[in-house]
Amino acid sequence: MMLLPCPWCGPRNVTEFRYGGRAVERPDPGTTSPERWRRYLHLQKNPLGWDTENWYHSAGCRRYFAVQRHTGTNEVRAGEAST
Amino acid sequence: MSSSSNGRTASGGNGRRPDRLRDYSAWRLFRQGLSNDEWPRAWHHHDLRSSYDVVIIGGGVHGLATAYYLAANHGIRNVAVLDKAYIGSGGSGRNTAILRSNYLTPEGVRFYDRSVTLYEHLAADLNFNVMFSQRGHLTLAHNDSSLRTMRWRAEVNKVQKVDSEVIGPDKVSELVPYLDTSAQTRYPILGALYHPPGGIIRHDAVVWGYARAADAHGVHIHQKTEVLGIDVDGGRVSGVRTNRGSISAPIVVNCTAGWSTLISDMAGVDMPVQTFPLQAAVTEPVKPFLDTVVVSGTLHVYCSQTDRGELVFGASVDPFASYSIRGSLEFTEGVAGHVLELMPALSKMRLLRQWAGLCDMTPDYSPIMGPTPVEGFYVDVGWGTYGFKAGPVSGEAMAENIATGRVPEIIAPFGLDRFADGRLVGEKGAAAVGH
Ligand SMILES: Cc1cc2nc3c(=O)[nH]c(=O)nc-3n(C[C@H](O)[C@H](O)[C@H](O)COP(=O)(O)OP(=O)(O)OC[C@H]3O[C@@H](n4cnc5c(N)ncnc54)[C@H](O)[C@@H]3O)c2cc1C
Ligand SMILES: [Zn+2]
C-alpha cells in the first residue's frame, strides 16, 4: 500500500487521492504566447527522480496539496498545502 | 482479412534471405531430436564497433523490427541495436499481445491494418512460429454513448476495408456463452464491436524471431548496453555514449517506449510524453472456453485465453505517472471484481501472477514517429498501451524513412510536429482500455 501525507488528514492510502500532475506554473491563457501555451499543454518534463506534484484528496478533505515523490521508487516526502 | 494492396509485397522484404534463416525445419527438428546436440544460438554476441551506420536504442519489437527491415528491405546492415537489459525486457515482453486494427481515425486504421497484414505473414517471413491466433476481438458496449462510438468505428473501419461490425447481445452470447448478457446486471451488455481478424500472438516469439532474422542479416544486437548520453554537434547527431564505450553514428533511433523521454532529453529534444505503469495478470490454466478477446471500456478490463489455457487480464494504466513497475493490490481487486461482473462463472479461478510495464503516453493516444529537430536523430515512441501490434509496420516505415530520407505516407500523420500545428490524432476512444 502506498501512503500519501495529506497535510490536513495525515497519511492515507493513495486510492483516496486523485493525481493532479506535475506542479508547474500555468501561464495566463489571455496574455501568454501560443508557443508558451503549447509547451504548458504538451511539452512537460517526464523526469525519473524526485519531482514535485499536486494531489487532490478526493475521498477525504477535498483539498489540494503538493507532494515530493521519487518517480522511480514512489517514495514520498511531505509537501505543503497548495492554494 | 485485412487489406494489403499498397504495391509492395504483403510480407515486406526484398526476397533475398540469408541461409541461416532457413535452418529451422521439420527435418532439422527431427535430426536434433535424435542427435541430442545443442541448437545453434539464434543471435550472437559481438564486440562493440566504434562506429555503425545506424544505432537503434531499445531492443523491443520496435527497435528489432526497424533493424530487420533496414537490413532486409534496404540492405543497410551495419546496424546496432542496444538494450540496457535483455531484448524484450521492456513492454515487448510484458504486454498482453492483442493485435487488431479497428481504430477510430482513418490514419490510425490504415496504419494498424498494415501491421496486421505483416503479422499474418510474419511466421513465414522470419521462419519462426509467432503463433498469431486470429480468434476475433469483441469490444463490449454497456451504454448508448459507447454504442455510438462503436458504430462510428465500424463505419471508419469498413471504409478502410477492415472487417468490423456492431453486433447485438444475442450474437455476443453466441460468441462468448459465459458472458452475463442478462438485463439484470449493473452494466448490461447492449452490443459489441466485433472484429474477426483481431487476436493474440506469442509476444516473446515475435521479439526472438526479429532478433534472429536481424542477426542473420548482419545486425549486431548488444544486450546489457546502456546508453548514457547522445552526442549532438551543430544540430546533428554524431554518436552515443554507453557503459561499454562510445559509438559514432550519423543516425540514432530512439525506440525506448517507457524510457523514451530520458533518451530524447539526452539529444535535447522535448516530447509530449508521460510515463505510466500498466499492469496485467494471469490465472491458472483451464480448458479452452473463451475463443475471442473480450474488452469492456466501461468496466476498464479485458480478458483473453492463451493457447496454454491461462486467462490473461488487463486494464487501463495506473492512475499516476511513474517509472516504478511494482504491482498493486488495487489493480488486482479492480480487475477481479470487474471480470466477475462480466463472467460470474470465473469466481473460483485463481490468479497466478501479476506484473507491470511502462507506457509512454501521448496526449492523443497516438505514436510519435519520424525525424526530430536534431538531424539524424529519429524517434519511434509514444507507444503507450497499444504499441506491440504496431511493431512490424513501424519497423518497415522507420526503415524506409531512414534509408530514403523521406517520411513514408503511412506514418506522416504521426510526426512530432503535429503538436505544434495542432493536428492531433485522437485515438482515445479506441485505445484507452482495449490495447
Ligand atoms: C501490461 C501491458 C499490456 C499491454 N498490452 C498490449 C496489447 O495487448 N497490445 C499492444 O499492441 N500493446 C500492448 N502493450 C503496449 C506494448 O507492450 C508497447 O507499446 C510495446 O511493447 C513497445 O515496444 P517498444 O519496442 O517500443 O519498447 P519496449 O519493448 O519497452 O523496449 C524498450 C527497450 O528500451 C530499453 N532501454 C531503455 N532505456 C535504455 C537505455 N538508456 N539504453 C539502452 N536501452 C534502453 C529497455 O531495456 C527496453 O528493452 C501493453 C503494455 C503493457 C505494459
Ligand atoms: Zn485530506
The model's confidence at residue B95, banded by pLDDT at 50, 70 and 90, is: very high
Ligand 1, pocket residues at CB < 6 Å:
B 57-63, 82-85, 89-92, 94-98, 226-227, 255-259, 263, 278-280, 314, 357, 359, 383, 385-389, 435
3-state secondary structure of B210: helix
Contact between B273 and A46 using a beta-carbon 8 Å cutoff = yes
The model's confidence at residue A81, banded by pLDDT at 50, 70 and 90, is: low
The number of the ligand nearest the C-alpha atom of A4 reads 2
Contact between A46 and B320 using a beta-carbon 8 Å cutoff = no
| The pLDDT of residue A79 | 64
Interface mutation vs chain B, best among A36, A39, A42, A52, most B CBs within 10 Å: A42
> Cα dihedral angle (B41, B27, B15, B78), rounded to 10 degrees?
10
Angle, vertex CA B211, rays to CA B385 and CA B66, nearest 5: 60
- The candidate with the shortest Cα–Cα distance to B104, out of B143, B134, B61, B148, is B148
Which residue, chain included where needed, has cell 506491440?
Answer: B388
Residue B72: enclosing H or E segment and its boundaries?
helix B61-74
Find the radius of gyration of the CA atoms of chain B. Answer: 21
For each of the domains in chain A, give its residue range(s) and CATH number, in order of start. Answer: 3-77 (3.30.2270.10)
Angle, vertex CA B322, rays to CA A11 and CA B426, nearest 5: 120
The model's confidence at residue B7, banded by pLDDT at 50, 70 and 90, is: very low
Chain B environment of A21 (Cβ under 8 Å): 321
Chain A environment of B330 (Cβ under 8 Å): 15
- Can you read off the three cell numbers belonging to residue B283? 490465472
pLDDT for residue B92 is more than 70: yes
| The pLDDT of residue B9 | 47
Instruction: Say how many Å lie between the CA of residue A31 and the centre of ligand 1.
Output: 40
For each of the domains in chain B, give its residue range(s) and CATH number, in order of start. Answer: 54-93+204-272+364-421 (3.50.50.60), 134-197+274-361 (3.30.9.10)
Q: Is A45 on the interface with B (CB under 8 A)?
A: yes
Chain B environment of A1 (Cβ under 8 Å): 329
| The pLDDT of residue B361 | 97
Residue A4: enclosing H or E segment and its boundaries?
strand A3-6
- Can you read off the three cell numbers belonging to residue B14? 526484398
Q: What is the ipTM of this complex?
A: 0.94
pLDDT for residue B126 is more than 80: yes
